[in-house]
C-alpha cells in the first residue's frame, strides 16, 4: 500500500508518548474572559499557562478598533505580492514604525517568523553557492533557523548552547569573508537569554554578521519593549550589521513577522528572497492593527513589570525540589524528564483547571520533557498561587 510508513510512524509516536493532536479553543460569550488568561476547551474553563500572549494584549479594544479601521481603509487582503500591487500604505507605515522603534534603517514584513527565518538563510546561503557562506548556529536555535540554514548551500556549524568559547574556536578556523552567527534572543523552550553582548563582540572581531531571532523577547524586554537587542551598545555602523527577526503573533498580539536590517540586505532580500517575492503580502488591516499594538507596548511599561513580579512570585512559591530553568523572561521551563510523566502531570493539572502543555522530543532533547510555563501580564496573583500549589502537589 502506498505511503504505508505514515501509519507506522504515527504508531511509533503514540508508543513513545510523543503523539501530537490539536484542541479547539472555543470562543467565550463573556467578553471579559478574553481579557483574562483563560481558555475554554470542550466547554471547560482553564487558566492558560501555555499562551505566547506575553503582554496580555490579545483582543485589546484599541487593537481591535485599529484592525477594523484597517479593514475599512485597505480591506482584509493585500490581494497581491509586495512587488506587484500588494504593498499598501499600512505596510509602509508599519515598517517605518518598527525601524524607529528598533533604530534600524530598513524593515521587511513576512507572513510568519518561520517564513522570515527560512527566507533569510536560504537566500544568503543559496546565492553564494561556492561554499563561501558559513552559518554558525546556537545548538538550541529554532527549527526554522535550522531548516533555512541546512536547506541552503552554505556550510553550517552548530555551537553548544551559549558556548561563546566554542563559537570563537569555530570562527577562527573559518577563512570565509561571509560569516553569520545566529541565536535566539530568548530561547523558546528554556526561557534563558543569549549572551548577546559577547556574540556581538565575537562577530565584530571576526568580521561576521549577527542574526537574532527575537520572537520571544520583543515587547517583553527593553524600556520600550524593543527586545533583547536593546541591551547592545553598538555604534551605528556595527549595529546596522546586526539583523533582527521578530514575530507579531506573540507579545505583539497580531500576526506576521519582520526582518530589520541594513539598506543593502533589505534590497537584496527584495530581489532574491523567494519567500518574499512570491507570497501575498500580509493583511494591510493586520499591519494597521500592529502599529497600534506597538504603540501600546511602548507606552505601557506596567505590563513588563507585572511579568517580572508574577515570575518572581511563582519561583518563590515552588518547592525547592522542582527543577526550573533560571529565566528573566516570560518563559519558565519545569523539567520533568520522560515523555509519559510529563503528559501525566499535564493531565493532572487540567483536572485542577490549569492548561499547561507538555513539551516533548523532538522539540526538546530526549530526557528533558517539560512543562513550559508562560507568565503573562493578564495573569492574576491568585492564578500564580493556584499554579504553584498544583505543581507542588503533582511533582513532590
Query: Same domain for 46 and 67?
Result: no
Residue 239 cell numbers, joined:
549595529
Q: How many independent structural domains does the chain possess?
A: 2
Provide the annotated active-site residues.
52, 142, 184, 188, 213, 216, 250
Query: Same domain for 375 and 325?
Result: yes
CATH at 254: 3.40.640.10
CATH at 361: 3.90.1150.10
Domain that includes residue 332, residue range? 21-50+301-395
Query: Same domain for 109 and 202?
Result: yes
Q: Which residues of 162-191 are buried (b: 16+ CB within 10 A; e: fewer)?
A: bebebbbebbeeeebebbbbbbbbbbbbbb
Domain final residue pick, 274, 298, 322:
298
pLDDT for residue 26? 85
Query: Same domain for 281 and 388?
Result: no
pLDDT for residue 29? 53
Domain presence at residue 6: no
Query: HEC string of 142-190?
Result: CHHHHHHHHCCCCEEEEECCCCHHHHHHHHHCCCCCEEEEEEECECCCC
Query: Same domain for 163 and 206?
Result: yes
User: Are 363 and 188 a contacting pair, CB within 8 Å?
Assistant: no
**Rounded to 5 degrees, what angle do the CA atoms 280, 282, 283 make?**
115
User: Are 58 and 252 a contacting pair, CB within 8 Å?
Assistant: no
Tens-digit pLDDT profile for residues 94-118: 999 999 999 999 999 999 999 999 9
Domain presence at residue 324: yes
Query: Same domain for 254 and 312?
Result: no
Query: Same domain for 91 and 205?
Result: yes
Query: Same domain for 211 and 175?
Result: yes
Domain final residue pick, 298, 326, 351:
298
Query: Same domain for 354 and 261?
Result: no
* Parts of the chain with a pLDDT under 50: 234-239
Domain presence at residue 372: yes
**Rounded to 5 degrees, what angle do the CA atoms 346, 23, 109 make?**
105
pLDDT for residue 396? 86
Domain presence at residue 14: no
What one-character DSSP code corresponds to residue 327?
A: -
Amino acid at each position: 500500500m502506498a505511503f504505508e510508513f505514515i501509519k507506522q510512524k504515527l504508531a511509533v509516536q503514540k508508543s513513545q508518548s510523543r503523539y501530537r493532536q490539536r484542541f479547539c479553543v472555543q470562543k467565550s460569550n463573556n467578553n471579559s474572559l478574553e481579557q483574562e488568561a483563560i481558555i475554554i476547551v470542550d466547554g471547560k474553563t482553564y487558566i492558560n499557562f501555555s499562551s505566547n500572549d506575553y503582554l496580555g494584549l490579545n483582543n485589546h479594544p484599541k487593537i481591535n478598533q485599529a484592525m477594523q479601521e484597517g479593514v475599512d481603509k485597505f480591506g482584509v487582503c493585500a490581494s497581491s505580492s509586495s512587488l506587484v500591487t500588494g504593498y499598501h500604505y499600512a505596510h509602509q507605515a508599519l515598517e517605518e514604525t518598527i525601524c524607529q522603534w528598533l533604530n534600524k534603517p530598513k524593515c521587511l514584513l513576512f507572513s510568519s517568523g518561520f517564513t522570515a527565518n527560512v527566507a533569510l538563510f536560504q537566500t544568503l546561503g543559496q546565492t553564494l553557492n561556492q561554499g563561501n557562506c558559513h552559518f554558525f548556529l546556537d545548538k538550541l536555535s529554532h527549527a526554522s533557523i535550522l531548516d533555512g540554514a541546512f536547506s541552503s548551500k552554505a556550510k553550517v556549524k552548530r555551537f553548544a548552547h551559549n558556548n561563546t568559547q566554542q563559537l570563537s574556536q569555530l570562527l577562527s578556523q573559518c577563512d570565509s569573508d561571509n560569516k553569520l552567527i545566529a541565536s535566539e534572543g530568548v530561547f523558546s523552550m528554556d526561557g534563558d537569554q543569549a549572551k548577546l553582548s559577547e556574540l556581538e563582540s565575537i562577530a565584530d572581531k571576526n568580521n561576521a554578521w549577527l542574526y537574532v531571532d527575537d520572537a520571544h523577547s520583543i515587547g517583553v524586554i527593553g524600556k520600550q519593549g524593543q527586545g533583547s537587542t536593546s541591551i547592545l551598545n553598538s555604534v551605528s555602523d556595527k549595529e546596522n550589521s546586526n539583523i533582527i527577526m521578530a514575530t507579531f503573533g506573540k507579545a505583539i498580539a497580531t500576526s506576521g513577522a519582520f526582518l530589520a536590517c541594513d539598506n543593502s540586505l533589505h534590497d537584496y532580500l527584495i530581489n532574491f528572497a523567494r519567500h518574499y517575492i512570491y507570497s501575498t503580502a500580509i493583511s494591510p488591516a493586520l499591519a494597521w492593527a500592529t502599529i497600534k499594538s506597538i504603540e501600546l507596548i511602548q507606552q505601557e511599561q506596567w505590563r513588563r513589570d507585572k511579568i517580572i513580579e508574577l515570575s518572581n512570585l511563582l519561583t518563590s512559591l515552588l518547592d525547592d525540589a522542582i527543577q526550573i530553568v533560571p529565566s528573566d523572561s516570560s518563559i519558565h521551563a519545569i523539567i520533568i524528564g520522560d515523555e509519559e510523566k510529563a503528559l501525566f502531570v499535564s493531565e493532572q493539572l487540567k483536572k485542577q483547571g490549569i492548561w499547561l502543555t507538555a513539551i516533548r522530543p523532538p522539540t526538546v532533547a530526549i530526557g528533558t520533557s517539560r512543562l513550559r510555563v508562560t507568565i503573562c501580564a493578564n495573569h492574576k496573583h491568585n492564578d500564580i498561587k493556584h499554579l504553584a500549589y498544583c505543581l507542588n502537589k503533582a511533582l513532590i
